[in-house]
Amino acid sequence: MKAAVASGPGGPEVLVLAEVPRPSPGAGEVLIEVTATAVNRADLMQREGNYPPPRGVSTILGLECSGRIAELGPGVTGWQVGEEVCALLAGGGYAEFATAPAGQLMRVPAGIDLVTAGSIPEVACTVWSMVFDNSKLAPGESFLVHGGSSGIGTIAIQLAKAQGARVFATAGTDVKVAACRDLGADVAINYREQDFVEVVKAQTDGAGVDVILDTVGAKYIGGNVASLAMAGRIAVIGMVGGIAGELNLGALMACRGTIYAAGLRARPLDQKAAIVAGTEAHVWPLIEAGKIRPVVDRVLPLAEAAEAHRILAASTHVGKVVLDVRRP
Amino acid sequence: MKAAVASGPGGPEVLVLAEVPRPSPGAGEVLIEVTATAVNRADLMQREGNYPPPRGVSTILGLECSGRIAELGPGVTGWQVGEEVCALLAGGGYAEFATAPAGQLMRVPAGIDLVTAGSIPEVACTVWSMVFDNSKLAPGESFLVHGGSSGIGTIAIQLAKAQGARVFATAGTDVKVAACRDLGADVAINYREQDFVEVVKAQTDGAGVDVILDTVGAKYIGGNVASLAMAGRIAVIGMVGGIAGELNLGALMACRGTIYAAGLRARPLDQKAAIVAGTEAHVWPLIEAGKIRPVVDRVLPLAEAAEAHRILAASTHVGKVVLDVRRP
Partner-chain residue, chosen from B236, B248, B249, that has the shortest CB–CB distance to A253: B236
Residue B252 has its nearest CB partner, among A257, A261, A267, at: A261
* Contact call for residues B79 and B92 (beta carbons, < 8 A): no
Point out the residues of chain A with pLDDT beneath 70.
328
pLDDT at A182: 98
> B202-226: per-residue pLDDT in tens?
999 999 999 999 999 999 999 999 9
DSSP secondary structure string for all residues of B61-88: --SEEEEEEEEEPTT--S--TT-EEEEE
Geometric angle at alpha carbon A244, from A241 and A248, rounded to 5°: 105
Q: How many CB atoms lie within 10 A of CB B315?
A: 15
Please provide residue A283's backbone torsions phi and psi, each rounded to the nearest 5 degrees. -95, -40
Secondary structure element (H or E) that encloses residue A326, with its range? none
N-to-C CA span, chain B: 12
Tell whether A314 is within 8 A of chain B (Cβ). no
Chain centre distance of CA A169? 16
For residue B279, give the 3-state DSSP assignment. helix
Q: What's the pLDDT at A327?
A: 84
pLDDT at B222: 98
CA–centroid distance for B148 within its chain: 12
Residues from chain B contacting residue A248 (CB–CB below 8 Å): 243-244
What does the pLDDT read at residue A178?
Answer: 98
pLDDT digits (tens, 9 = 90+) for A150-186: 999 999 999 999 999 999 999 999 999 999 999 999 9
Is A218 in the B-facing interface, judged by CB distances under 8 Å? yes
Opening angle at CA A259, ends A256 and A260, nearest 5: 140
Q: Does B218 touch chain A (CB under 8 A)?
A: yes
Give per-residue pLDDT as tens, B243-274: 999 999 999 999 999 999 999 999 999 999 99
Strand pairing category for B84-88 and B64-72: antiparallel
Which one, of A72, A84, A126, A128, lies nearest residue A109 by Cα?
A84
Q: CA dihedral defined by A151, A152, A155, A161, rounded to 10 degrees?
A: -140
Segment B101-108 mean pLDDT: 98
Per-residue pLDDT band at B28 (split at 50, 70, 90): very high
**Is A67 within 8 Å of A32 (Cβ atoms)?**
yes
Provide the β-strand partners of residue A166.
A142
pLDDT average, residue stretch B32-52: 96
Q: Which of A325, A282, A284, A279 is nearest to A305 (CA)?
A: A325
How far B291 CA lies from chain A's nearest CA (Å)?
Answer: 30
| Mean pLDDT along residues B162-170 | 98
Euclidean distance between CA atoms B205 and B95, whole angstroms: 50
Q: Name which of B228, B236, B249 to mutate to probe chain A: the one with the most chain A Cβ atoms within 10 A of its Cβ.
A: B249
- Of residues B4 and B54, more confidently modeled: B4
Res B328: pLDDT: 64
Predicted ipTM beyond 0.90:
yes
Contact B239 A250 (CB under 8 A): yes
Specify burial of residue A74 (Cβ count, 10 A radius: 0-12, 13-18, 19+).
exposed
Q: What is the mean pLDDT of residues B60-79?
A: 98
Q: Tell me chain A's radius of gyration from C-alpha atoms.
A: 19
Strand-pair partners of B67: B34, B85
Closest CA to A149 of A177, A191, A185, A187: A177
* Ordered structural domains, chain B, with CATH: 2-120+294-324 (3.90.180.10), 124-261 (3.40.50.720)
Specify burial of residue B39 (Cβ count, 10 A radius: 0-12, 13-18, 19+): buried
pLDDT number for residue A328:
65
Quick check: B232 contacting A, CB < 8 Å?
no
Q: Which of A243, A250, A257 comes nearest B249 by C-beta?
A: A243
Q: Which has the closest alpha carbon to A89: A39, A136, A44, A144?
A: A39
On the question of pLDDT at B21 being above 80, the answer is yes
